[in-house]
Structure 1
Amino acid sequence: MLSQKAKYALRALIMLAEKDNGDLILIADIAERENIPRKFLEAILVELRKEGLLFAKRGKSGGYWLARPAAQITFGEVIRLIDGHLAPIPCASKGSFRPCEDCIDTQTCSVRWLMVQVRDATAAVLDNQTLADALRHRQSTGNIAANFDI
C-alpha cells in the first residue's frame, strides 16, 4: 500500500514539475496548495534533495526545484525512495527479499508466485509513468492552476 508520505512526495513533485524551468517554489506554497502539513513536507523534500531529485536554495528567498526534467523522474523511482520496495509481501521483493515466517518453501509457494506477478505488473506501470505524464494528465483534466504565479 502506498504510504501517505509517498503520496505527499508525488503531489509535491508534480507541482514542482509545473514550474520545471528552474524557478524556485517555496515550501509554504507547496504545503498550502497541495494541503500537506508543512513540517512533514519539509522532511520529505529534504529526503528527496538528498536522493538527488531536487535542488534547494536556503534562506528567505529559498525554495526547491527539480534536479532533473520531469520526464526523467518516474513514479516507481519516487515510491522506492520513500517507501522502499514495490512488492506487496517481503518474499516477492527483488531488493528486500525476506521469506515469510510461515513459509515452507519459497520456490513452490503459490502466494509468492502470484505476488511476484503483482510486483512485476506494478513496477511495469510505475516505472513507465513520469512526473511529466502526470502533469499532462493534470492539464488535460483542467486540474492545473491557470495562474501559477509562485
Structure 2
Amino acid sequence: MRSLSKRTQYSLRALYALARRGVGKPALIGDLSRDEEIPKKFLEQILLSLKQKGLVDSRRGRYGGYVLAVQPEKISVGSIIRMIDGPLAPLPCASEHSFRKCDECPDIRFCGTRIVMRQVRDATADILDRTTLADVCRKVDAAKVEAEEGEGLMYYI
C-alpha cells in the first residue's frame, strides 16, 4: 500500500479524538488542533470536508464545536482512507473499484506483479475495512494501560 497523505493522517487523528469524546460531545477546533498537533488552518479544512461527507457535524454556541455524526463502531478506517486518498491498491491494476491497466503491462491476465498486488490490496482492505474508529480507540487505550503497567514495574527493578 502506498503511504497515507498528511490529510488522511490528520483526518484519522481528528476522528479518533472525536470518537474518544463520544457521539454528541463537541470538541473545539483549537482544542483538537492543540491536542492532536494538527495545524489549525489545515484542521479547519479537514473538518469541513468530513462534515460535507457526513462523518462529523458542527454545533454553534456556548457548547459548540465538532462532533461525530456517526457512531464510531460504524466508521471503518478503510472507508475513511478511500474517502480521502482514494483506492487502497498499491497499483491501479490491482484496484477493486478504480481499476486501470498499467501502461507498461503487456497482458494483465498473466502479470505476476498484478497478482501479488491484488493479494496485498485484499489483505490490506480486509484489515482496514474490519477496523472501526471504536476499535482503534480501544487498542490505543489498551496500549496506554500496558505502557503504564510496564512503567510501574520499572520502579521495582
Please give the TM-score of this superposition, normalised by the length of structure 2: 0.86
Give 1:21 shift. Answer: 3.5
Shift of 1:62: 3.2
Q: 1:22 aligns with which of 14, 21, 24?
A: 24
Given the alignment of the two structures, is residue 12 of structure 1 paired with residue 9 of structure 2, yes or no?
A: no
Unaligned runs of 5+ in 2: 146-157
The number of residues matched between the two structures is 143
One of 88, 91, 99 as aligned partner of 1:89? 91
Q: Say if 1:103 and 1:64 are closer, same or farther in 2 by CA, change over 3 A.
A: same
Distance 1:128 1:14 in 2: 16
Output the CA distance in 2 between the equivalents of 1:58 and 1:106. 53
**Which secondary structure does the structure 1 equivalent of 2:144 belong to?**
coil
- Aligned partners of 1:74, 1:66: CA distance in 2, in Å? 13
Structure 1 residue 83: Cα displacement = 0.4
Say if 2:79 is the partner of 1:77.
Answer: yes
Structure number with greater Rg is: 2
What's the CA shift for 1:58?
A: 4.2
Paired-residue identity, %:
48
- The match for 2:155 is none
Distance in 2 of aligned mates of 1:73 and 1:30: 19
The secondary structure found in structure 1 opposite 2:58 is strand
**Letter of the structure 2 residue corresponding to residue 129 of structure 1:** T
| Secondary structure of the corresponding residue to residue 48 of structure 1 | helix
Aligned mates of 2:98, 2:132 — CA distance in 1: 24
Structure 1 unmatched ranges of 5 or more: 144-150
Secondary structure of the equivalent of 1:107?
Answer: helix
* Aligned match for 1:40, one of 42, 46, 59: 42
- 2:125 maps to which residue? 123
The secondary structure found in structure 1 opposite 2:66 is strand
Aligned to 1:141: 143
Looking at structure 1, the residues matched to 97 and 46 of structure 2 have their Cα atoms a distance apart, in angstroms, of 22
Structure-1 separation of matches of 2:16 and 2:23: 13
Aligned to 1:146: none
- What TM-score does the superposition give when structure 1 sets the normalisation length? 0.90
CA distance in 1, matches of 2:45, 2:63: 19
Distance in 2 between residues matched to 1:21 and 1:99, nearest whole Å:
42
CA-based RMSD of the aligned residues comes to 1.4
Match in the other structure for 1:101: 103
* Runs of at least 4 residues off by over 3 Å: 58-62
